[in-house]
Structure 1
């Protein structure tokens, strides 16, 4: 005689767990990958700006003490880029400048001029936050007022072009990020709504025995919060694994690494998973509790 197989009793909030976590994890991973793209684009932007130099040409015959004092004054300015705790201020003597020019052109201009017409100069690298055209113009005027400074120059057209292209690129990436975030939110919301669809009759049964809305909602909200937390952590771990693999394949990519922004991105993924999971479950449960019996079919 055949025995009836025991059926598992369905409890409140016991909708498929693995499928929901897997779906939310993939959606958050897509957001994370695009977030990495934005972080690396931001770092590239900063590197490009900080590698643009400003040349401070000096009066002729300045004593060594005045050169040293001027270099110290420049190094203390807030707009000077700092690398490895060292202000990016470099002294270029006219002899060194002449040697570089001869190496580039292949001709010794000092032979037919009879003298070296170049000037001593300080080469400054400006911090990325001061790298726009207006700030650079103000910095140039400020440097021209310093004693011992003859002229201040930088490639203005190049900097204007770089800033314009970087600004356009940032707007395009920001637009894509907004659209992608909206798509992911909708995807996670629909995933949780479909998962809760199987619980609609159980929700109705709880209502019929007098359960309050908060009593019915709590198991779903608690489960959705844990699912969002788990999905955010899994997406973050996958993101770190993919990033480490990319570093192994392309060592130069480590130059664009920013641990602070990466930590912010990972925290944002976890909070996004928790927030969307919680709100989607809350909306879905409210929807099913407000439906009539005929609408549930």
Structure 2
């Protein structure tokens, strides 16, 4: 009879552990998917920002040596992503191609200017930053005019801020839900041992002594759940990269490292905190309250 009861208890315990691991794995997988969206949304937003071009038109009297010197100084600036020099001859060819006829035959001379197309780093593509750069370049002795699409920059900034806000709201919601779900699973697993907790407490065991094995057990379960979530997430990332290679998911090692680290750290923090408060609750209960 005793062996049968012990066997039943072990099966029940394994079932409880399995449910905790599955719950943690599912929640952490969802957190991983959301984290992936957040990381890639930032990269996509930065990609669009860095496609914005600021054109610097140079004065006719600026020499080639001065142009080269100016280009070298721009390359060293923190705001520069990349730049391209476009001579007035190249600009005339492009303009004629767009028009479908050679406008130089009609005008007799080339009115266009030598220019530099400047792609800025994403952090500098805001209405305020670009306006400051515009004023700075207009004071330069080589520059006669600066041009960029101001309405596009303003609209791009507003849209990115709006999307970022809702992604943060969604992230906060998922974080709360994940904590509640994992906390509930851990509390249920500890609930089955509430009598053991109270017995240890009655024979003089300290709260920290009682709590410690439960915390370590939950952390181990959390790590197992995190590893399962990471394996499933790896398959999802592999197939997304296979069918949408433009996202370059498998090549972005730094983002993947951040994602994996975030999932592992989340599992440790959530399981530790949940176990601490769950055990604290049962430690504070009176003996007659354990039956309810």
TM-aligned CA deviation for residue 4 of structure 1: 7.1
Higher share of residues assigned helix:
2
Query: Taking structure 1 as the reference length, what is the TM-score of the superposition?
Result: 0.90
Look up the SS of the partner of 1:193 in the other structure.
helix
Instruction: Specify every segment of 5 or more residues in structure 1 that has no aligned partner in the other structure, as ranges.
Output: 82-87
Q: Provide the C-alpha distance between the structure 1 equivalents of 2:249 and 2:146, rounded to a whole number of angstroms.
A: 30
Residue among 200, 206, 229 paired with 2:194: 200
Q: Provide the C-alpha distance between the structure 1 equivalents of 2:87 and 2:106, rounded to a whole number of angstroms.
A: 21
Q: Provide the C-alpha distance between the structure 2 equivalents of 1:21 and 1:256, rounded to a whole number of angstroms.
A: 27
Pair 1:47 & 2:47 matched: yes
Look up the SS of the partner of 2:248 in the other structure.
helix
Look up the SS of the partner of 1:210 in the other structure.
coil
Look up the SS of the partner of 2:84 in the other structure.
strand
Alignment partner, residue 86 of structure 2: 92
Give the stretch that moved more between structures: 237-246 or 127-136.
237-246
Look up the SS of the partner of 2:109 in the other structure.
coil
TM-aligned CA deviation for residue 160 of structure 1: 0.7
Please tell me whether the aligned partners of residues 94 and 119 of structure 1 are also in contact (alpha carbons under 8 angstroms): yes
Instruction: Give the number of equivalent residue pairs.
Output: 287
TM-aligned CA deviation for residue 194 of structure 1: 1.1
Q: Provide the C-alpha distance between the structure 2 equivalents of 1:24 and 1:110, rounded to a whole number of angstroms.
A: 70
- Alpha carbons of structure 1 residues 289 and 101: separation in structure 2 relative to 1, 3 Å: same
Residue among 195, 212, 215 paired with 1:221: 215
TM-aligned CA deviation for residue 204 of structure 1: 2.2
Q: Provide the C-alpha distance between the structure 2 equivalents of 1:175 and 1:244, rounded to a whole number of angstroms.
A: 28
Q: Provide the C-alpha distance between the structure 1 equivalents of 2:118 and 2:56, rounded to a whole number of angstroms.
A: 8
Give the stretch that moved more between structures: 24-33 or 244-253.
244-253
Alignment partner, residue 23 of structure 2: 23
Pair 1:131 & 2:129 matched: no
Deviations 1:55-84 (A, max 9, x none): 000111432211211111111111101xxx
TM-aligned CA deviation for residue 95 of structure 1: 1.4
- Alpha carbons of structure 1 residues 255 and 194: separation in structure 2 relative to 1, 3 Å: closer
Deviations 1:113-160 (A, max 9, x none): 222211110110001011111111111111122222111111111111
Deviations 1:249-289 (A, max 9, x none): 11111179632233122112111111111111111111112
Please tell me whether the aligned partners of residues 224 and 278 of structure 1 are also in contact (alpha carbons under 8 angstroms): yes
Alignment partner, residue 76 of structure 1: 76
Please tell me whether the aligned partners of residues 96 and 103 of structure 2 are also in contact (alpha carbons under 8 angstroms): yes
TM-aligned CA deviation for residue 214 of structure 1: 2.1
